[in-house]
Amino acid sequence: MAKTIFNYVKLGIFVIAGMAFLVILLYYIGKNRNIFHPSFLLKTHFQHIQGLQPGNNVRYAGIQAGAVKSINILNDTLIEVVLDIDNKFKNIIRQNARVSIGNDGFVGNKIVNIEPVKEEAALVEEDNVLASKEALDTDAALRTLSGTNQDIADIARELKTLLTNINQNPALVKLVTSDEIPNDIRAALADIRRAAHQLQLSAAEVNTLLDSVSRGKGSLGALFQDTLIYANLLNTSEKIKLAGEESNRITRQVSQVVQSLKDHIDQGKGPVQAILRDSSMTHSLQNSLENIEKGTSSFNQNMEALKTNFLFRGYFRRLDKKEKKDSLRAVRE
């Protein structure tokens, strides 16, 4: 009897194990198909669904988000795809998200990809229609690939011709196979290395100099760093400013004087007006100048008479000799 009960227990475990596997199998398949989760529907339209079927997976940014619920033909050029999306994506998917049909791997099942876009938009609601993006047309891709292959073939042919030409050109071959060119390049590289070394040294010196300047050493450093020089410069500039103001003041005074003279001239006052406007005074001035000219002429005659006088003749001769001597020395120099 006890053995019979034990056998029944074993039978029970056996049946429960089988049923458990069935339940797990059904649960996980249902989980993948959103059967045991609350979900909502989204729609999208395509011109060509490329073999998409109800039950195919829907992914949002690569994450499993639901499954294709149904596919309806709206008209001869438009097909509606209804997507059953897990409710947890309701607060993630936005109305401007783009839907496209892709492949799960190169030869895998068709999948629907919902891709987010960067622009802000409201969150989706039940039965919203998302914009679709036509997937890559395989035929078009193959045509492009064929064109690319042709281009590659053309380039290869050109390269072959070019290499043949190079091989047939002795000058180019010599250029490539010459021993001198590597030596020249090596020498050039050595020069470049030396120049770089010099440049490095110069840079170090510049650094040292800049360091000195920054620490206030030397005249340039003092100029940049000495506060006394800075104060002096400020003082100097202040003085220059004062001098400018003084010159402005003098200019204003001169201008006032000129204006005053002009006013006097215009009003017929003062000596300048008399000189410029009074005709009698002009006449007397002319007479005075003639008298001075006559006096000067008489003075010249007297001087000529003195030169011939025996008392002053010696003096004038010495004066002539000195003048001649000076002129000869100037010519020699």
Partner 1 sequence: MATDTTLKKFLDETGRIAVFTGRFLNEWFRPRYEISEFFRQCYIIGYKSLPLIGLTGFIIGLVMTMQLRPSMVNYGVESQIPAIVGISIIREIGPIITALIFAGKIGSSIGAELGSMKVTEQIDAMEVSGTNPFKYLVVSRVLATTFMLPVLVLLSDCIALYGSYLGVNIKGITSWSLFWNKVFTNLIYADIFPAFIKTFFFGFIVGIIGCYKGYHSSKGTEGVGRSANSSVVVSSVLIFITDLLVVQVTDLIGYG
34 binds partner 1, rule: CB under 8 A: no
Measured between alpha carbons, how far is 74 from 113 in angstroms, rounded to an integer?
A: 21
2 binds partner 1, rule: CB under 8 A: no
17 binds partner 1, rule: CB under 8 A: yes
8 binds partner 1, rule: CB under 8 A: yes
Residue with tokens 């060119």: 181
Decide whether 64 or 96 has the Cβ nearer to partner 1. 64
Token output for 201: 């040294």
Measured between alpha carbons, how far is 99 from 290 in angstroms, rounded to an integer?
A: 117
Q: Are strands 78-86 and 39-46 parallel, antiparallel or unpaired?
A: antiparallel
Decide whether 54 or 244 has the Cβ nearer to partner 1. 54
- 64-86 b/e with 16+ CB inside 10 Å = b? ebbbbbeeeeeeeeebbbebbbb
Let me know if 122 is exposed, middle or buried by CB neighbors in 10 A (0-12, 13-18, 19+): exposed
Q: How far is the CB of 127 from partner 1 (least distance, A)?
A: 25
Q: Which of residues 2, 38, 75, 105 is near partner 1 by CB under 8 A?
A: 105
Q: Which of residues 32, 103, 212, 225 is near partner 1 by CB under 8 A?
A: 32
Quote the Cα angle for 118-119-122, to 5°. 115
3-class state of residue 178 by DSSP: coil
18 binds partner 1, rule: CB under 8 A: yes
- Of 27-35, 144-152, 224-232, 257-265, the segment contacting partner 1 by CB under 8 A is 27-35
Q: How far is the CB of 170 from partner 1 (least distance, A)?
A: 49
255 binds partner 1, rule: CB under 8 A: no
Token output for 241: 């400013």
224 binds partner 1, rule: CB under 8 A: no
Phi, psi of 37 (to 5 degrees): -120, 145
Decide whether 12 or 244 has the Cβ nearer to partner 1. 12
The H-or-E segment that residue 112 falls in is: strand 110-115
- Site mask, partner 1, residues 53-92, x = CB under 8 A? --x-x------x----------------------------
26 binds partner 1, rule: CB under 8 A: yes
Decide whether 19 or 233 has the Cβ nearer to partner 1. 19
- Of 2-10, 169-177, 186-194, 323-331, the segment contacting partner 1 by CB under 8 A is 2-10
Token output for 232: 């002096």
Could you tell me if 53 and 68 are in contact, meaning their C-beta atoms sit under 8 angstroms apart? yes
Decide whether 57 or 132 has the Cβ nearer to partner 1. 57
Q: Which residues bind partner 1 (CB under 8 A)?
A: 4, 7-8, 10-11, 14-15, 17-19, 21-22, 25-26, 28-33, 55, 57, 64, 105-109
